[in-house]
Structure 1
Amino acid sequence: RARATLMIAGINGSLGTNAAKDVSKKIVETASNFDNFNVEATGSSVISYQIDELTGKSNKIILPSIFIAIIIILFINFRKPSYVAISLGGLTIAIIWLFGTMALLGIKFNTLAIALIPLIMGLGVDYSVHIFHNYLTEIRRGANVKDAIVISIKDVGLALILATITTAVSFLSFLSASIPSLRDFGILSAIGIAYTFIVAITFEAAMRYLMDKNKEIKIKKSESKFSAGKIMERLSGMLCKNPIKVLIVIGIITAGMGMAAIHVTTSFSLEEFMPKESSAIKAMEKLSNYFPSASQDQEYILIEGNVATLEAIRGIKETMDKIGDDTFIAKLPDGSIKADSIYKIIENAIKENESIKSRFHIGKDGLPATNEDVVALYNYLYNNKKYAMDVKYVLHKNGNRYDATVVRVYTTLTTLENSNEKMERLYKDLKGDISNYGNARAIVTGSMVLIYTIMKSLTSSQLSSTIVCIVIAGIVIIIAYRKPLLGAFTMLPVITSSVWIMGTIYLAGYSLNVMTVMVTSLTIGLGITYAIHVVERFRMVADKTGDILKAVEEAVANTGGAVLMAALTTVAGFIVLVASPMPPEQQFGFITATTIIYSFLTTVLAIPPLLLLWGKWRKKKKGYIISP
């Protein structure tokens, strides 16, 4: 009893993106119109269509949720609606500017672009928090509104500028990526960060001044033991008493995470972009079980040049012989390999018509005797109605010259696979299948080959660009501070949290894919911001007072409180993505939120003990901390 049957529909590869989506939509709708039996639609085009549909639905839930989460955290922090309204107003302006720029640059909206909104909101709200937190501190100390605004911008201005520059540099590291959408993401992220900085120190500061200038503002110091300031104040005391122990613990954790990080792998598959219960994914799994020899997943050996030569056809014959030993080659029910080439068509033609052998002088090796015989054989097959369609499927004719041919290799490895090892094996097998084709040259290509080569180059380029990014950011900070050790201290949380997050990716069972591969650059962009604020506050207080303990306490208790609230707000913006039905967005949300937590922890735990030890050494050696 037959349990299932299969219909294969080919979609014109020359169709535009929207037209292909419309065809996929029609296929899905048609499949759902049968009542008497179950019809399911699947395939890479159908899966891509469902991904787009799911992304649209996800946006309607996720984006409002991000706003709500940030509103709640901001209100808990400032306890006044006006602060929340100004912050969100500034973020909205920056996002409008960003997407306007995106349209002007001709960059299309895609899955990665979704991440821009929580990213810009999460990082942009940091600027609001630091400016307003400093503003309220100055008001609490007795300054008037105008002076409080001016002092706030002056005090946090350098930190914000350095944070903006270094964060932009970290995102511009994506320009080295081989995936265009990642390069676009890097450019837009850098532009977006610049926009949020501009809006924060202009629009938001001006709005705060206009709303408060005619008011008498009195702010009571919070007496709660659980306020951000109080928590950070207690932390400061602990750090000042046990600096060496804290650094040893951080070193041990970093070593452990580093051991885990070296085992992180890369992967990419369409299945990663879909929920496990996706109908198209389930149908694809059924297809593999019911029809193992019906694979339509192809990889290609493309041969370009003069392919109408005896050397070329002999090379194609050798390639077909080698393919039989490939690990992931699909096979027909009779056990023969599933691969198409001009040589296979010649073989089949001879089986059907023995006279072809004598007509084109084909010997016992199955090959014509001369180059002229090869050309004549190609012409015969190309113009014969019986063979023409199959021949044009693998052989390209330009005028009177045959300038390209392709060996189509059907594989059991599909775009649902996410094993980097399997893709590497497939790629190496196909590379090994290439023979000598005379003056013609061959390359291996196809969806799985492209995924493998792109992810491999992406991983290596991301590693090198991350190193370059850290070096550039470090140079910028060292130039600004004019003290190499302070620059090194500022970069420490970036390096430490990068190791921690890579270790966490491994321990969580994730791999580096098109979304998570950007984590190192995100770590630099997020982590360095917090470090800059803490180090800058220490510099300012230490230079004014010459008191090391006071400078460390101020950096942790005052600026650390602002950093804590900024981190919580940013985490709230990203953690919402965990509720997305799209697995890559879930992973991106979780990993980015964890990155922020790590960046905060390494900033407030590692930098203060180092600043304390460095300050004591500096004062003992030179008699002053920052300047005489």
Structure 2
Amino acid sequence: MRKKIINKIAEYSAKKPGTVILISLLVTIIMAYFAMDLKLSMQLKDLMPQSHPLVKGFNDVIDNYDSASMIIVAATGDEESLKKFADDIAPRIREQKEYVTRVDYKMNTDFILNHGFMLQKEKDLKNSLDMYSDLNLIPWFSHLNDSFEKTYIDDDESISTKQKENNAVGMLDGIDYLTSTMSKFASGEVDDTYSESDKTARKFLIGDEYSLSPDKDMILILVQPTFTVDEIDKVLVTVNLIDSIIEEEVAKYPGLEAGTTGTMALARDEMESSQKDMNYTTILALILILILFIISFRMWMAPILAGITMIVGIIWTAGFASITVGSLNIMTSMFAVIILGLGIDFSIHIISIYTELRAEGSSIEDAIKETLVKSGGGIVTGALTTAFAFYTLMISNSAGMSQFGLISGSGVILCMLATMFVLPSMLVLRDKISSKKTKKRKVVSTKFMFLGSYSRLISKHPIMTLSISFIITIILIFSASKIEFDYNYLNMEPAGLKSIELQHLLEDKFDMTPDYAMVTTSSVEESYKIAEEARKLKMIGFVSSISDFIPSKEKQGKRAILINKIRENLNKNNKQKPILPSDKDLLIEQIERLQDNIIELSQLAFMGGQDKLDKKAKTLIGDFEDPENNGSLGKLLSILDSSDQKILKGVNQFQQGFSTAFKNYSLSMASTDIIDLDTIPTDIKNQFISKSGNHYLVSIYPKESVWNMEFLDRFKIQMEKLNDRITGMPLVFYTLIDIVGKDGRMAAMLSLIIIFLLLLFDFRNIKLALIAMIPLVIGAIWMIGIMQLFGLRLTLLNVMGLPLILGIGVDDGVHILHRYSVEKKGNISRVFTSTGRAVLITS
């Protein structure tokens, strides 16, 4: 049956090549029309089944919470330049109203200054209560030490979580700024005493309003777009627009570097890089294939015809993909290169035998018929085995894996059809046109005679050949057993992407990653419970929740009692006492006490591996390994030790300004008004409340990169214990890896069974079917073994190439066996000089 069909194709191609080409051209135009609508989506979640609860939850968050899709502008440099840069660039980004709704890089200080104490925990308010009883510096420092010791020294759990560590860093930052300002006052270096005092009190009470890293050399600017990450066209336009603004602003600040990072920036980089790489690799593959053709066949036209055949096959496949799935994902975007690599195989076998027959003097019609008889069976079998190897991936629950199998498998068959119909017709038409122009065209024989010699040699020594192959295989089996899987998704991205470099830097500077988990709740109370449980986990760097801004009514009631006491203490503070020379030792004593307290905290941080806190502490107490670094406290103490009378004058000026500002800001923060949803500013509400207004978002940021599989495994377990509705890109990726692993193993076993059954059906001989499988099995072992020897690892993407290896491995064996069955036994030399050449070239 198959031979009859192949003979009919050969006969029709020989007699009516123009008709075949015309029909193929019409089909190509139609498929190209459909291919124009083919979209490209590089989101990791697109590889997952859209019905999966994780994906449904993730899509729900993306669609209903504006803050779930953010563009992060990250900049590095010195503190002052970073702040000026942020102040300059934020208004320019806000002007892009078509694409941007909000830009955040500072805290909402108005809300904090009106409700700051109500947002503090009851325990912290109790510990700091005495700090508001006397604002003169000596008693104030004494009460600061009391509060510090209660909060950090006497409490074993004071820095047990990342959130508590961050709070401690913030406290030290405020003390560092305060002591540094005192030193300036004492040294007479301050011109505007009111402004500096006011700034110091404000910073001590509410912290730094800019989104700076603990070491002050990185700033984050969060840009909320008017669209979601799924609207890739707008993502490309907006991220590119922001990058152009960054480029203009960065030029004003020497030494400052900035760029975009986060999910949207990475999506843009993935899209542009994939499109560019796909174009480059496709063009490069075509060029290299053409060069290989020219060198191997010593002719110009045949490789061009093969290239045209491949382009036709790719267009047909692209049209098919557009009709069936509508868009390409991370996996399916590589289909063109796969089709080129596999499809050219078919063309090489046809051209190889056709040119051989024409060189031996066969007519055009006889040559094309005999070519398809000798190569057609192998091409059809090779195409089917390869296609079904890909089709087995369709059993996967992963949308990416399933679509990859469908598109690649169908692409192989479409390329086979293009090769069987289009290429023979073009070869016939080309030779007929050529024969009319010249009486006789000399066809050069392009047999690889060295392959014939090689085949004769190994056929004379089969035992030695098999023994050497067996030894190599055993060695490489051992090597292949040690192959590792690289689970790091970012390692699959193109090298040198600035968005990834900034993401790694962000993780290092802020101890949190933009790849986070999310969960929606139906109440503020539920948000609070989940947020508090998450903060107890040491693997968590930061938790963001509406409950941070709306304490429960019960908590607000308890805090109001303490806030009223703070107000009473502040209102009694009307008298300032100047620091006299006789009082200086008391001031020094309290500052030294503070220094000792911070040294003890630094030691606790060092033993706990909390480097950010230890580093911040050393800015105050100095570094014992560096005698010249005394820290801001050491500097202040050395100034106070001086006998210069002007020093106390400066300290009293600071006391006067600081005490007044501290009292005013504290009274403002000491409001006992109830905080509810109506009280919360809109810019804060929009970060946490769904568009419907009925649900709330809790975002949980791990402090390590989630692309470390060991960490991701623990992260997933903890998140699932926290809440069964939790979602997020890290969890989507983990589930995808699990699906790919399970389905990949099943697909591999299934493909081997199907391939064997197809070979058995083709050869009608179990021995020949098993022989055809040998190149596949040995080739796969050698490939993985050599990968391991060269330090390469399996990844989510190169695993998708395994069906390609299966297809090629079977294909080569099938062609050799088919040609061997056509030729007489003992004519192994002819098989290898002709079909062997094609196998070598295709590989």
* TM-score interval (norm. to shorter): 0.7 to 0.9
**Partner residue, 2:811:** 529
**Partner residue, 2:261:** 43
Is it true that 1:264 corresponds to 2:546 in the alignment? no
Contact 1:124 1:193 in 2 (8 A): yes
**Change in CA separation of 1:191 and 1:560 when aligned onto 2, cut-off 3 Å:** same
**2:686 and 2:288 mapped to 1: Cα distance?**
58
**1:161 and 1:427 mapped to 2: Cα distance?**
46
Larger Rg: 2
**Partner residue, 1:411:** 702
**2:278 and 2:691 mapped to 1: Cα distance?**
47
Q: Name the SS of the counterpart of 1:183 in structure 2.
A: helix
**2:536 and 2:545 mapped to 1: Cα distance?**
17
Deviation at 1:154, TM superposition (A): 1.1
**1:383 and 1:316 mapped to 2: Cα distance?**
14
* CA deviation profile, 1:582-605 (whole Å, cap 9, x unmatched): xxxxxxxxxxxxxxxxxxxxxxxx
**1:518 and 1:199 mapped to 2: Cα distance?**
24
**Partner residue, 1:385:** 679
**2:318 and 2:741 mapped to 1: Cα distance?**
28
* CA deviation profile, 1:534-568 (whole Å, cap 9, x unmatched): 11122223xxx4x3x33x4343333212211222x
**2:784 and 2:416 mapped to 1: Cα distance?**
29
**Change in CA separation of 1:350 and 1:410 when aligned onto 2, cut-off 3 Å:** farther
Contact 1:537 1:554 in 2 (8 A): no
**2:788 and 2:729 mapped to 1: Cα distance?**
26
2:378 aligned residue (156, 159, 168): 159
Q: How does 1:285-434 map to 2 (within 5 A)?
A: 285-292=504-511, 295-301=513-519, 313=526, 317=529, 322-324=533-535, 326-330=537-541, 338-341=542-545, 347=551, 351-354=555-558, 383-386=677-680, 407-414=698-705, 418-434=707-723
* Stretch of structure 1 that moved more, 70-79 or 90-99: 90-99
**Partner residue, 2:20:** none
**Change in CA separation of 1:507 and 1:298 when aligned onto 2, cut-off 3 Å:** same
> Match for 1:151: what amino acid?
E
Deviation at 1:196, TM superposition (A): 2.0
**Change in CA separation of 1:444 and 1:28 when aligned onto 2, cut-off 3 Å:** same
**1:221 and 1:407 mapped to 2: Cα distance?**
72
**2:683 and 2:489 mapped to 1: Cα distance?**
32
Q: Name the SS of the counterpart of 1:41 in structure 2.
A: strand
Deviation at 1:221, TM superposition (A): 4.8
**1:288 and 1:355 mapped to 2: Cα distance?**
35
Q: Which runs of 5+ in 2 are unaligned?
A: 1-77, 80-216, 562-673
Deviation at 1:184, TM superposition (A): 2.8
Deviation at 1:498, TM superposition (A): 2.1
Is it true that 1:274 corresponds to 2:494 in the alignment? yes
**1:218 and 1:396 mapped to 2: Cα distance?**
76
Is it true that 1:469 corresponds to 2:751 in the alignment? yes
Is it true that 1:133 corresponds to 2:352 in the alignment? yes
**1:4 and 1:538 mapped to 2: Cα distance?**
68
Contact 1:266 1:455 in 2 (8 A): no
**Partner residue, 1:367:** none
Q: How does 1:478-497 map to 2 (within 5 A)?
A: 478-497=760-779
Deviation at 1:321, TM superposition (A): 5.8
**Change in CA separation of 1:492 and 1:347 when aligned onto 2, cut-off 3 Å:** farther
* CA deviation profile, 1:430-473 (whole Å, cap 9, x unmatched): 22334xxxxxxx23321111111101211221111011011101
* CA deviation profile, 1:375-414 (whole Å, cap 9, x unmatched): xxxxx97744338876786677989xx7x66543111234
TM-score (norm 1): 0.72
**2:465 and 2:699 mapped to 1: Cα distance?**
60
**Change in CA separation of 1:271 and 1:540 when aligned onto 2, cut-off 3 Å:** closer
**2:776 and 2:691 mapped to 1: Cα distance?**
56
2:835 aligned residue (545, 559, 563): 559
Deviation at 1:92, TM superposition (A): 2.0
1:245 aligned residue (443, 464, 469): 464
Q: Name the SS of the counterpart of 1:146 in structure 2.
A: helix
- Same amino acid, percent of matched pairs: 19
Deviation at 1:7, TM superposition (A): 1.9
Deviation at 1:162, TM superposition (A): 0.5
**Change in CA separation of 1:555 and 1:145 when aligned onto 2, cut-off 3 Å:** same
**Change in CA separation of 1:289 and 1:78 when aligned onto 2, cut-off 3 Å:** same
**1:398 and 1:31 mapped to 2: Cα distance?**
34
**Partner residue, 1:68:** 287
How many residue pairs get matched? 506
Q: Which runs of 5+ in 1 are unaligned?
A: 223-227, 331-337, 358-379, 435-441, 568-628
**Change in CA separation of 1:349 and 1:173 when aligned onto 2, cut-off 3 Å:** farther
* Stretch of structure 1 that moved more, 504-513 or 528-537: 504-513
Deviation at 1:46, TM superposition (A): 1.4
Q: How does 1:45-60 map to 2 (within 5 A)?
A: 45-60=264-279
**1:63 and 1:237 mapped to 2: Cα distance?**
38
Deviation at 1:342, TM superposition (A): 6.6
1:519 aligned residue (801, 805, 821): 801
Q: Name the SS of the counterpart of 2:700 in structure 1.
A: strand
Contact 1:301 1:408 in 2 (8 A): yes
**Partner residue, 2:186:** none
Contact 2:355 2:445 in 1 (8 A): no
**Change in CA separation of 1:392 and 1:117 when aligned onto 2, cut-off 3 Å:** closer
* CA deviation profile, 1:334-385 (whole Å, cap 9, x unmatched): xxxx22457666657655443899xxxxxxxxxxxxxxxxxxxxxx977443
Contact 1:268 1:451 in 2 (8 A): no
**Change in CA separation of 1:348 and 1:150 when aligned onto 2, cut-off 3 Å:** same
**Partner residue, 1:9:** 223
Indicate the RMSD between aligned Cα atoms, in angstroms: 3.3
**1:159 and 1:351 mapped to 2: Cα distance?**
78
TM-score (norm 2): 0.55
Contact 2:239 2:260 in 1 (8 A): no
**Change in CA separation of 1:93 and 1:232 when aligned onto 2, cut-off 3 Å:** same
> Match for 2:712: what amino acid?
M
**Change in CA separation of 1:203 and 1:395 when aligned onto 2, cut-off 3 Å:** closer
**Change in CA separation of 1:327 and 1:561 when aligned onto 2, cut-off 3 Å:** farther
**Change in CA separation of 1:258 and 1:329 when aligned onto 2, cut-off 3 Å:** farther
Structure ranking higher on relative contact order (CA contacts 8 Å, 6+ apart): 2
Q: Name the SS of the counterpart of 1:8 in structure 2.
A: strand
Q: Name the SS of the counterpart of 1:264 in structure 2.
A: coil
> Match for 1:561: what amino acid?
R
Deviation at 1:10, TM superposition (A): 3.0
**Change in CA separation of 1:242 and 1:147 when aligned onto 2, cut-off 3 Å:** same
